[in-house]
Amino acid sequence: MPFTVNPTAIPDVLVLAPKVFGDARGFFYESFNARDFAQATGIDAQFVQDNHSKSARGVLRGLHYQIQHAQGKLVRVVQGQVFDVAVDLRKSSPTFGQWVGVELSAENCLQMWVPPGFAHGFVVLSESAEFLYKTTDYWYPEHERSLLWNDPAIGIDWPIDTPQLAAKDVAGKLLERAEVFE
């Protein structure tokens, strides 16, 4: 396998650590292989869209999800460092309302699998960061929702006090008022 799969406190959220081959010239690793991903995780994801964002230190993007056309996301950082978070919004799940967070960076090459039914967000810890992610469904702006990043009912331990936020993230809903998945 070109990577190892590490479980998180929420079993459906996975952290993938690729095997990185490096020497004085640089490094190489396989960032995605559909056959190996399915074999190692048991997830037969069909990715339909790749997204790439660049953000400055202190920018927090999230917590986003689509109430219809829910997206699974395979996320990674190719420049800089972020704290990446997934929140379980599946009402019938034993981990509903719980979150996991992982530091992703260009140096550690880790990736996180965020399944459909989760809100997702990250905050940039380095001077800037470039964030890449594959999605299992297309973006539909009419179905996009934002969960409030600092909802005390969820209690995410963000490594920042005052992030830079987009207007839609400032207006995010509390979990108790958010549309969630059955």
Catalytic pick among 29, 52, 64, 65: 64
- Spatial strand order of the sheet with 128-135 comes to 3-7, 14-18, 111-114, 73-79, 128-135, 49-56
Q: What is the CATH number of domain 46-177?
A: 2.60.120.10
Mean pLDDT of the chain: 95
> Is 69 a residue of the active site?
no
Specify whether 64 is catalytic: yes
Boundaries of every domain in the chain: 46-177
Rounded distance, CA 71 to CA 136, Å?
5
Residue 1 has pLDDT above 80, yes or no: no
- Chain segment 40-49, per-residue pLDDT in tens: 999 999 999 9
Q: Which of 133, 138, 140, 143 is catalytic?
A: 133
Characterize 89-122 residue by residue with b for buried, 16 or more Cβ atoms within 10 angstroms of its Cβ, and e for exposed.
Answer: bbeebebebebbbbebbeebbbbbbbbbbbbbbb
Give the pLDDT confidence score for residue 8 in this predicted structure: 97
What global pTM score does this model have?
0.95
Report the percentage of the chain scoring pLDDT > 70: 99
